[in-house]
Amino acid sequence: MEWIEWLLSREFRHFLFDNNLFFPMLFVVRLLGMTTLESFVPARNVPYRSVLFLDIIGFAVLVYFMAPAAHYLMIFIAVRPMVPESILTLPTVVVLFLYYVVGDFGAYWMHRFWHLSPIWRIHKWHHSPTSMYWLAGYRASFLQLVLYGLPWFFAYSVLGKAPWWIFLTVTTSHILLNDWQHMNVSWRSNWLECVFITPRLHHVHHSDNLTLSNANFGVIFSIWDRLFGTYVNPDELKEPLSFGIGEKVPLVRLVLGV
């Protein structure tokens, strides 16, 4: 069909990027696709009518206001190491692998840092949803956004000579990984969980049970939790999961992380 050919054409790609429409269109695709997938194999009942509209507003505030401000601040405080030429010139697939391994290792420890008692308020907003679904993961305070970006800024140095499309690839992958972790699905795969964080594993981390919320800190790879003793197997849980922080905190404080 002609419209499909147009969607796959170079002209359409230029139209998206020239008008900054790629990410807004991606959001529409995610909104329809993720919500539909959750409706097929839901893990729990989610009151979409009461949470989706407010989370969309919160997501827009994060994307258009908080994230750009956090990125501006990170430019001044992030550590960008000098990477040897021998690493920079490795095949693109290899430096991408290094980026995800190095960045995720740092993200794991940053995540554990947020759960320390004096720092917890930075991360409270992220744990505030009482219903877990794909868009719930975008509740991130301003300070959390700043700190979360630091290990990834560090790791991004290995991509210094990668092709132009790498930034688009890694940005899209982070968006979809966040959606994936928080999805309300009952689907499971034991072999996949040996390597990667899945919704089942991450939902354990969002439990309102403090013992469980101090486990499964991984962002992409589950190997870090297994190596450093913070892994909890969802199959060993004795009670159904419930979510939230169990207290009322002013919204402004949650959003700012103070």
* 116: pLDDT strictly greater than 90: yes
- Termini Cα distance of the chain: 53
Q: Which of 22, 30, 8, 18 is nearest to 176 (CA)?
A: 30
138-156, pLDDT tens digit by residue?
A: 999 999 999 999 999 999 9
Instruction: Evaluate if residue 5 carries a pLDDT over 80.
Output: no
Q: Amino acid identity of 252? A: V
State the average pLDDT over residues 111-115. Answer: 96
In this prediction the pTM is: 0.90
What pLDDT score does 11 carry?
67
> Pseudo-torsion of CA 185, 32, 129, 63, nearest 10°?
130
Write the Ramachandran bin of 90: left for phi over 0, alpha for psi from -120 to 50, otherwise beta: beta
pLDDT at 204: 96
DSSP 166-213: HHHHHHHHHHHHHHHHH-------HHHHTTB--HHHHHHHTBSSHHHH
Ramachandran bin of 216, using left for φ above 0, alpha for ψ from -120 to 50, beta for the remaining angles: left
Q: Is the model's pLDDT at 246 over the cut of 90?
A: no
Domain boundaries in the chain?
2-256
Kindly list the distances between the CA atom of residue 6 and the CA atoms of 11, 13, 19, 73, in Å, as whole numbers in the listed order. Answer: 8, 9, 17, 40
Distance CA(80)–CA(88), nearest Å, equals 14
pLDDT at 14: 63
13: pLDDT strictly greater than 80: no
Q: How far apart are CA 110 and CA 114, in angstroms?
A: 6
Question: By the 8 A CB rule, do 74 and 149 touch?
Answer: yes
Q: What is the mean pLDDT of residues 59-72?
A: 91
